[in-house]
Amino acid sequence: MDVDFRSRSHWLMGYGLPRATLKLLARRGDPFARLLIDSSRPENVYRLVEQIRRRGRISPVVGDGWVTADAQIVRDVLRDGRFRTAKPHDRSPVPVIQRMLAKTNPGVLNGLEPPSLLVVDPPEHERLRRLVSRAFTPRAIDALRHRIQEIAGALLDDLHANTRCDLIDEYASQIPIQVIAEMLGIPRDEIPLLFGYADPGAKMLTCTSPSWRDFRTATAALRGFEIYIAAHIERLRRRGADDSILSAVVQDTDLTENEVRMFAGLLLGAGFITTTHAFGNAVVALVAHPDQLARLQAHPDGWPNAVEEVLRYDSVFQIGVRVATETLQIDGHTVREGSAVFLLGGGANRDPAVFERPDEFDSTRANARDHIGFGSGVHVCLGAPLARLELQIGLQALFERFPRLTLAGEPTLNDSTLLHGIKRLPVNLGPAA
Ligand code: HEM
């Protein structure tokens, strides 16, 4: 089959048809379809989530699926061994289309397809996760504190007081990418290459139904990234054992080449796209609440809780999905074997049953840490301690250096539906302290 025809057929069956259906449902006013299609403004996201919540703790969606914004149900499903992660064939309920999807799969490294840790189920999942989890213990991450401070300090030194800049481009994305690149043994001068792959490639990982153009660009970017990462892995092999996380993975002879590439790609992607988004969301929330920012500037020991509140109030993790492996009951509803349950992370983080005045940003909120922004259960975010530290250090350093920073225009949201964050954030830095 001609490559372009194959690719186009794959997109049409796996993304194009669902996209057309969602658009139709969205036009008819279905709030879940609109959430998947039209989340280009934060107020839209939370307005739609509330419409879904009003339908009940869990409610049906088209195609034998369910959706919930209930914190307890979201947590329970993520922890329940009777659910599995979603696989590529789940894109269609029709067996013949499922077979066609497998046949036409472009076969590029994709964080949402096996062998990605994110979609591998126990017991296989445990074997893979164990290989890298040592590098992410709170103690191992605390050892990076000084290095993160150095990186943030050097980036701030390069920013000029009283000028306008895109904070995402020049600061927020730079901290996590530099940290994870060092952890993976990637030389600093190759970081611009990584951005080149990540921007278009992310469309495939974070949008439920990208357009054909986005799908094609993303596939090409992921293919380019795979060539890059294969060469990097080879370089690590030649170098022999060192202290980068990938070194242990590369030396493990039980792993297939594909699994080694998956680890590299997933850690890189998950390690900086999400944290960059959280950083942007944090700056917007803090600048909109100057009294709370002033309190943090006067009492910096409040930063860890403020970071938890940002992860709750404007969650990066908006939509997750699990599939029932047997017929079961949730809140009096029968969820049949094979049904998908869509989990609204941002909705769960604004569940009034858990958080008082959930739509208010309160950096001193006593139970802010009860959010589900890092997921739960066996797939709970591996990098959570690292993300927390980068956000605490990066935000504190930014507002200490530029205490009067203001927005210089409307932030541009990414066009992702699964992960919610900001792509461009124009700011006036104001005077340096
Ligand atoms: C604020 C930043 C971050 C957020 C909001 C976030 C969120 C999440 C969530 C919600 C999951 C679970 C997904 C699911 O159950 O389907 C997850 C998994 C994961 N995260 Fe993060 N993450 C962040 C930062 C990081 C960082 C810095 C790293 C690594 C350097 C990382 C690595 C991973 C990995 C490897 C997994 C897959 C774990 C598994 O499947 O066992 N994340 N993350």
Q: Residue 382 Cα, ligand 1 centroid: separation in angstroms?
A: 6
Q: Is 101 near ligand 1, meaning CB less than 6 Å away?
A: no
User: In degrees, to the nearest 5, what angle opens at C-alpha 272 toward C-alphas 139 and 425?
Assistant: 125
Ligand 1 pocket mutation, candidates 116, 206, 274, criterion most atoms within 8 A of CB: 274
The answer to whether residues 58 and 333 touch, using CB atoms and an 8 Å cutoff, is yes
257-287 and 384-401 are packed helices; what angle lies between their axes, rounded to 10 degrees? 40
Q: Is 386 near ligand 1, meaning CB less than 6 Å away?
A: yes
Bridge partners of 88?
none
Q: Residue 266 Cα, ligand 1 centroid: separation in angstroms?
A: 9
- Cα(404)–Cα(294) distance, integer angstroms: 10
| N-to-C CA span, the chain | 62
Q: Is 317 near ligand 1, meaning CB less than 6 Å away?
A: yes
DSSP string, 126-162: HHHHHHHHGGGSHHHHHTTHHHHHHHHHHHHHTSPTT
pTM confidence score: 0.94
Which helix (DSSP H) or strand (DSSP E) does residue 19 occupy?
helix 17-27
What are the φ and ψ backbone dihedral angles of 164, each rounded to 5 degrees? -105, 140
Q: Residue 315 Cα, ligand 1 centroid: separation in angstroms?
A: 13
Atom of ligand 1 nearest to the CA of 376: 15
Q: Is 275 near ligand 1, meaning CB less than 6 Å away?
A: yes
Q: Residue 349 Cα, ligand 1 centroid: separation in angstroms?
A: 16
Q: Residue 112 Cα, ligand 1 centroid: separation in angstroms?
A: 12
Q: Is 307 near ligand 1, meaning CB less than 6 Å away?
A: no
Ligand 1 pocket mutation, candidates 134, 249, 374, criterion most atoms within 8 A of CB: 374
Q: Is 387 near ligand 1, meaning CB less than 6 Å away?
A: yes
Q: Is 411 near ligand 1, meaning CB less than 6 Å away?
A: no
Q: Is 118 near ligand 1, meaning CB less than 6 Å away?
A: yes
pLDDT tens track of the chain, all 433 residues?
A: 566 788 888 888 878 888 888 888 888 889 999 888 866 666 688 999 999 999 999 999 987 899 999 999 999 999 999 999 999 888 777 778 888 888 887 778 888 888 899 999 999 999 999 888 888 888 889 889 999 999 999 999 999 999 999 999 999 999 999 999 999 999 999 999 998 888 777 777 666 678 888 888 888 888 999 999 999 999 988 887 777 888 878 877 778 888 888 988 999 888 889 999 999 999 999 999 999 999 999 999 999 999 999 999 999 999 999 999 999 999 999 999 999 999 999 999 999 999 999 999 999 999 999 999 999 999 999 999 999 999 999 999 999 999 999 999 999 988 777 888 999 999 999 999 8
